[in-house]
Amino acid sequence: MEIRDRRDTLRMMALCLAPLVASSVPVATLAKVATPAVPKGRFLLKRTVVRDLADGKSLSVERIWQCGFSNEARGMRVDGQQSDCHVVAPPELKALAAMEEGRTSPGPFPALIDASGRMHGGQAKLASETPRAVHLAIDALAARGLNAADLSEARRLLGSLAQAGGAAISTIPADLFFPAPGRQATARDLEIGEGLTGTVDVTVMSEVRAGGLLERMTREVVTRIANDSRRSLESWVLTSV
């Protein structure tokens, strides 16, 4: 793989992985909510993720879980199970879309929530997002016509990049069910390799209902590398049923 091709490959892979790395970036902490009461009834939790791809295309994944809250010794517990999944992807990622729609994700469940409203005890368990992003990047490169040798090199480089970003990256906010309302923002620099650098800007907006329970949380990640800019948008919406 030529140096220029190597840099282009790194740039594309970093754009795919950066939103996952960004999910581990701490943001400024707002005022904590008071000790929450256990919500009554059943709820639907919907997570929607939209990621910019190459050539102006995008990938959208919407997943829904049925869930309910109960008392727990150190706070409360939230149990849930997936009830639906819908993926919208460009034709060249049809196989990935079918695989994702057929996959059942545990999401944040079961979640143990302490007296401050934060999840604890292993909530950071969606590290599988990283290998899926690896597959997404490789599929995108394959669609661009890279040969087998270059794809093999791309996989090796991608593995190094993922390791540099952290092997276990949680995409579930610890305060998901009882977030601090308002806006939080942060930024970080990316050191990618081969002389490439970039930035990741993360903005989180949270809305809550009476008692501090989640109504909507959105997280926008804007990744800039060289002349490329990609946007990823994640939303969590909790509704009563």
Q: What is the CA radius of gyration of the chain?
A: 19
| pLDDT of res. 165 | 38
| pLDDT of res. 123 | 46
Given a contact cutoff of 8 angstroms between Cβ atoms, the answer to whether 190 and 225 are in contact is yes
Q: Which residues pair with 225 in a beta bridge?
A: 198, 228
Angle at CA of residue 172, ends 55 and 110, nearest 5°: 135
| Euclidean distance between CA atoms 198 and 18, whole angstroms | 10
Phi, psi of 155 (to 5 degrees): -60, -40
What angle do the packed helices 94-101 and 129-143 form, to 10 degrees?
160
Q: Give the pLDDT of the chain (241 residues) as one tens digit per residue.
A: 454 555 565 555 555 555 555 554 444 444 555 678 999 999 999 999 888 876 778 889 999 999 999 998 888 999 999 999 999 988 888 887 888 899 898 999 999 999 889 988 644 445 445 555 555 555 655 655 656 666 565 555 445 444 433 333 346 888 999 999 999 998 888 766 666 777 888 899 999 998 999 999 999 888 887 777 788 889 999 999 9
Given a contact cutoff of 8 angstroms between Cβ atoms, the answer to whether 111 and 126 are in contact is no
| pLDDT of res. 148 | 65
| pLDDT of res. 169 | 35
Hunting for tokens 């256990």 — which residue is that?
A: 38
Q: Side by side, which strands form the sheet with 196-208?
A: 119-120, 111-113, 75-88, 58-72, 42-52, 228-240, 214-225, 196-208, 182-193
Phi, psi of 87 (to 5 degrees): -120, 135
| pLDDT of res. 93 | 82
Token pair in block for residue 197: 């650098």
Q: What is the pLDDT of residues 30-70, one digit of tens each?
A: 455 567 899 999 999 999 988 887 677 888 999 999 999 99
| pLDDT of res. 51 | 83
